[in-house]
Structure 1
Amino acid sequence: MHSILVKDYMQAESHAISVNANTSDVVERLLKSGLTGIPVIDEKEAVVGFVSEQDCIKELLNGAFFCDEPPGVRTVMATDVLTVTPTTSIVELAQTMMSQKPKNYPVVSDGKLVGLITRRHILKALIENDEDCYLHF
């Protein structure tokens, strides 16, 4: 099972958003994609942040209450982003997910965003590749 790689289960479409977008743009993208968070990229497609539903809620509440313009992504995104590569082991990533907060990990190759892998992808990989598992879906 250790040879199962991120590239075999990642979502090639990352639904990334530009660092120049605002939180309304992020919320629209999150709602359309069904994801709980998305990578933020610069003009070179490098990951510079990650923004989640939770990051947006406070800002949208403040905006609605004070009738403010939605803030830019830069002000709400997390900049300490944990990324993986296409050749990262699914088992290693699953172990990391048990001790780290992120639910979604940007997949990066040669400094550019190439996809996204979520807990759902990890669950699918683990269940599909466990020959000894007595639970069959």
Structure 2
Amino acid sequence: MHSLKVVDYMNRHPVRFAPDMSIEAAVSILLQSSQRGGPVVDKQNKLVGFLSEQDCLATMLRDTYHNEQSATVSDCMYQGEVVTVDANTSVTDLAQQMTANKPKMYPVINTDRQLVGVITRTDILRAIDLHLRDGFTHR
């Protein structure tokens, strides 16, 4: 199962955000997608943060209370060390990592920290399930 790689199961066209995007525009994109958050990238497509529904909710609630609409993605995104994964990582290694860490979605980056996709717990479950089903049909 170590031959299963993240690159084969990741979403190559995830929702992504720019730091200067308004939070209202980001929320609109999230609501139209099936993602619960997404990577924030700069103009060179380098990962600079992560924006979650929770981040948006807190900001929108605060802005509603103060009757403001001026926040940008960079104002409310997570700017710490975003947990990422390499495209050639084994699906089973990532599955083990996911049981210990909380992120539900991992940005997939290359050696230049450029975003190449995202992979979720659902993607990992699907990969393992397909592998197991394939193993049963070949017996």
Query: Do these two structures clear the TM 0.5 threshold for a shared fold by scoring above it?
Result: yes
Name the CA distance, whole Å, in 2 between partners of 1:71 and 1:133: 50
- SS, match of residue 64 in structure 1: helix
The equivalent position to 1:114 in structure 2, one of 113, 116, 119, is 116
Give the alignment's TM-score, normalised by structure 2: 0.90
Report deviation, 1:132: 8.7
Report the counterpart of residue 130 of structure 2 in structure 1. 128
The DSSP-based 3-state class of the residue aligned with 2:132 is coil
In 2: Cα distance, 1:133 partner to 1:57 partner = 43
Aligned: 1:103 with 2:118: no
The amino acid across from 1:6 in the alignment is V
Whole-angstrom CA distance in 1 between matches of 2:16 and 2:65: 28
Match of residue 95 from structure 2: 94
Kindly tell me the number of residue pairs found equivalent between the two proteins. Answer: 134
- Work out the percentage of aligned pairs sharing the same amino acid: 38
The structural deviation recorded for 1:61 is: 0.9
Written as runs of structure 1 = structure 2, the 5 A alignment for 1:75-94 is 75-79=75-79, 80-94=81-95
Q: What amino acid is aligned across from residue 6 of structure 2 in structure 1? A: V
How far 1:5 sits from its partner (Å)?
A: 0.3
Offset at residue 70 of structure 1 (A): 3.9
With structure 1 as the length reference, what TM-score do the two structures score? 0.91
Counterpart position of 1:25? 25
Deviation at 1:110, TM superposition (A): 3.3
Aligned to 1:38, the other structure's residue is in SS state: strand
Runs of 4+ with >6 A deviation: none
1:5 — aligned with what? 5
- Residue 55 of structure 2 aligns to a residue whose secondary structure is helix
Structure 1 residue runs of 5 or longer lacking an equivalent are: none
> Could you tell me which amino acid in structure 2 is paired with residue 95 of structure 1?
Q
Q: Is the 8 A contact 1:14 1:106 kept in 2?
A: no
* 3-state SS of paired residue (2:86): coil
